[in-house]
């Protein structure tokens, strides 16, 4: 018998109240059920739905009384989504005969355009490489290269972080990491369990991060040649790995073939002549010196994404940037600042990528809930179909950090169930899940030091290193956080060197060179075990997720698929924590440490502090 005494009137995440669960494809009929207490005396219920993408059109529907369930009245109604795509904000009104009223909502319903999304990305592990800092096959000579760059002779030096004589941080110091260096380590990456290589920008650019593209047609010569890139893709494919490129299409470099602010290129750039074919690509406020730029950074002039010739160059033409590099061997694109690109521009990239390679993937950089993201006053269509296949999952990173800083398992569950409910399943399972990226402090430093220490001087942060006690705590938390990451739906993504114990606060301290020969072997072995766990278990590659515990320092969930169930359990507290599972099943340890005490009602787990463990669940 179902006990309804403590049940709410409505719960959008419970199939007894709403079916189907979460986001729905266009054309779906969504069924709603309200369960008010009989003693409340409600005699009438109405569903009100606001279709945001139809100019906030409102549709009101009566919900019919359909009987009793114990001490609860049941009111039911269905909403036909028809051909609509977008967000629906729905609410309920309950009324009594005496005029009393109760309103519930509004709640979000995401209605998306159904499409086939390649599954390869979300199933396996991704490894993010910042190309200049991974491995160099030789010390390069920068003579003749764009940007007036210079090269550190010592691989282990700090990146340059101080302003130059003009008071600028120009990012012109390079270490010389290259594509041949990556090829040299493909077997190492394969051994980690890597299935996708995600590269930060690799096209010619004057700055070491290469986010100010100078030439989209050319691999940066310090990295190698266009042929080297194709060979790298061939070698990766031969090992069962895919390659994802960083598409920086919102802005170019001030030093570039297109803007040519310093006159390096023989082409007539937009800043040199009003008649330049590239001039319409940019938004000049007062030609040639005043122009729109990304976040006001003069070295990154913003492009005019509505310009037909720019669109043709990036995605619309047969030999466009998007198509040509997929043809050269890439398997997908990660779109830098995707929420600053117009929706139809992103849709054009998606269409071009699929036309060139049917299983090509497009991932967008969005830092918030991608279903509700508003940029430049417009609700974005990122994951509504035909745009981004998945997004960088910064909400998951925030939830993991909050949990392991004492935020409570219940808050993690609430935050992640909101994302699961709001996202189409394909987007939820194709998310790029990271603990750290090139835009965040190193995860080991954050967990070990307990914060970003922005109140300290930049010089202090440049030279900061964890104490032995901080590093031990950071490693314990990183092992547990990484276990959670590898067990969660979406692609577990490791920022180069996190598996080797690299430290560092914000850019550029989070972009130091990989410590070859000085890796933390304990962490490397842990990540290798995580990679094998993810690779070998179907339940972790594509299984559903069900939360078993989420309160205080405890968090546990199961993933199930293909007749297999995996349990992941974490303890963020400073002392051991016990958890009664409440189901009569046997557990086989897979990874991590936890004591299992079999009981008549089901096993009890005792998880050591700051740790996590994974188990194979056997039916009792």
Residues designated catalytic? 336, 365
Query: Rounded to 5 degrees, what are φ and ψ at 102?
Result: -140, 130
Query: Rounded to 5 degrees, what are φ and ψ at 369?
Result: -60, 110
Residue 425 token pair: 């399943």
Q: How far apart are CA 162 and CA 168, in angstroms?
A: 8
DSSP strand pairing (203-205 vs 213-219): antiparallel
> Contacts from 284-291 at CB under 8 Å and sequence distance 24+?
none
Q: How far apart are CA 508 and CA 465, in angstroms?
A: 15
Give me the residue label for tokens 């609509």.
Answer: 84
Nearest of 332, 338, 320, 426 to residue 375 by alpha carbon: 338
Stated length of the chain: 620
Q: How far apart are CA 32 and CA 78, in angstroms?
A: 6
With residue 390 as reference, give the H or E element that holds it. strand 390-391
DSSP strand pairing (604-607 vs 577-580): antiparallel
Q: How far apart are CA 17 and CA 69, in angstroms?
A: 13
Cα of first residue to Cα of last residue in the chain, in angstroms, is 23
- Give the CA angle between residues 483, 442, 611 to the nearest 5°: 30
* DSSP, res 22: S
Q: How far apart are CA 160 and CA 174, in angstroms?
A: 9
Tell me if 203 sits within 8 A of 229, measured CB to CB. no
Tell me if 608 sits within 8 A of 571, measured CB to CB. yes
Give me the residue label for tokens 């369960």.
Answer: 35
Provide the H-helix boundaries in 214-370: 226-238, 308-311, 321-327, 343-356
Residue 320's CB is within 10 A of a number of other CB atoms, namely 21
Give me the residue label for tokens 């049917």.
Answer: 358
Query: Rounded to 5 degrees, what are φ and ψ at 112?
Result: -120, 165
Helix axes 394-402, 409-422, angle to 10 degrees: 170
Tell me if 195 sits within 8 A of 240, measured CB to CB. yes
Q: How far apart are CA 471 and CA 229, in angstroms?
A: 37
3-class DSSP state for residue 243? strand
For 108-147, the DSSP string reads EEEEE------SHHHHSEEEEE-GGGT--SS----TT-TT
Q: How far apart are CA 387 and CA 364, in angstroms?
A: 9
3-class DSSP state for residue 440? coil
Nearest of 163, 154, 176, 259 to residue 213 by alpha carbon: 259
């Amino acid at each position: 018998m179902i006990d309804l005494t403590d049940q709410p009137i409505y719960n959008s995440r419970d199939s007894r109240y709403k079916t189907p669960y979460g986001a729905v494809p266009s054309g779906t009929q969504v069924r709603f059920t309200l369960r008010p207490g009989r003693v409340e005396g409600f005699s009438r219920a109405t569903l009100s739905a606001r279709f945001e993408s139809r100019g906030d059109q409102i549709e009101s529907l009566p919900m019919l009384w359909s009987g009793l369930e114990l001490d609860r009245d049941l009111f039911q109604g269905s909403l036909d989504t028809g051909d609509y795509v977008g967000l629906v904000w729905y609410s309920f009104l309950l009324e009594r005969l005496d005029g009393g009223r109760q309103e519930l909502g509004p709640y979000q319903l995401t209605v998306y355009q159904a499409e086939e999304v390649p599954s390869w990305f979300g199933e396996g592990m991704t490894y993010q490489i910042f190309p200049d800092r991974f491995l160099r096959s030789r010390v390069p000579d920068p003579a003749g290269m764009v940007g007036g760059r210079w090269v550190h002779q010592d691989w282990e030096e700090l990146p340059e972080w101080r302003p130059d004589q003009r008071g600028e941080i120009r990012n012109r110091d390079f270490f010389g990491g290259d594509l041949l260096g990556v090829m040299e380590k493909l077997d190492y990456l394969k051994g980690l369990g890597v299935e996708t290589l995600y590269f930060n920008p690799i096209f010619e650019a004057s700055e070491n991060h290469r986010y100010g593209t100078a030439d989209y047609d050319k691999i940066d010569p310090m990295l190698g040649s266009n042929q080297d890139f194709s060979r790298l893709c061939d070698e990766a494919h031969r090992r069962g790995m895919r390659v994802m490129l960083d598409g920086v299409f919102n802005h170019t470099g001030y030093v570039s073939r297109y803007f040519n602010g310093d006159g390096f290129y023989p082409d007539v750039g937009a800043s040199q002549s009003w008649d330049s074919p590239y001039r319409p690509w940019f938004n000049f406020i007062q030609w040639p010196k005043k122009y729109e730029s990304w976040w006001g950074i003069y070295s990154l002039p913003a492009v005019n994404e509505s310009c037909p010739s720019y669109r043709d160059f990036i995605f619309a033409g047969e030999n466009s940037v998007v198509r040509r590099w997929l043809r050269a061997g890439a398997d997908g694109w990660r779109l830098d600042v995707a929420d600053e690109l117009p929706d139809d521009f992103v849709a054009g990239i998606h269409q071009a990528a699929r036309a060139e390679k049917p299983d090509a993937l497009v991932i967008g950089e969005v830092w918030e809930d991608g279903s509700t993201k508003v940029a430049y006053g417009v609700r974005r269509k990122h994951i509504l179909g035909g745009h981004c296949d998945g997004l960088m999952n910064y909400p998951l990173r925030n939830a993991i950090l909050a949990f392991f800083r004492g935020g409570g398992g219940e808050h993690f569950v609430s935050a992640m169930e909101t994302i699961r409910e709001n996202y189409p399943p394909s987007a939820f399972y194709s998310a790029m899940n990271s603990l750290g990226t090139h835009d965040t402090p190193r995860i080991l430093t954050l967990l070990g030091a307990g914060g970003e220490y922005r109140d300290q001087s930049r010089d202090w942060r440049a030279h900061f290193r964890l104490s032995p006690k901080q590093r031990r705590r950071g490693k314990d938390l990183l092992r547990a956080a990484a276990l959670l990451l590898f067990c969660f739906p979406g692609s577990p993504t490791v920022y180069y060197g996190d598996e080797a114990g690299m430290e560092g606060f914000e850019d550029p301290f989070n972009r130091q060179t990989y410590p070859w020969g000085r890796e933390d072997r304990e962490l490397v072995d842990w990540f290798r075990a995580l990679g094998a766990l993810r690779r070998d278990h179907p339940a972790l590659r594509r299984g559903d997720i069900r939360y078993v515990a989420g309160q205080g320092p405890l968090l546990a969930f199961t993933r199930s698929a293909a007749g297999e169930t995996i349990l992941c359990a974490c303890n963020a507290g400073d002392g051991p924590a016990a958890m009664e599972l409440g189901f009569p099943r046997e557990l086989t340890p897979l990874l991590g440490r936890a004591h299992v005490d079999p009981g008549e009602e089901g096993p009890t787990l005792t998880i050591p502090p700051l740790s996590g463990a994974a188990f194979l669940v056997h039916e009792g």
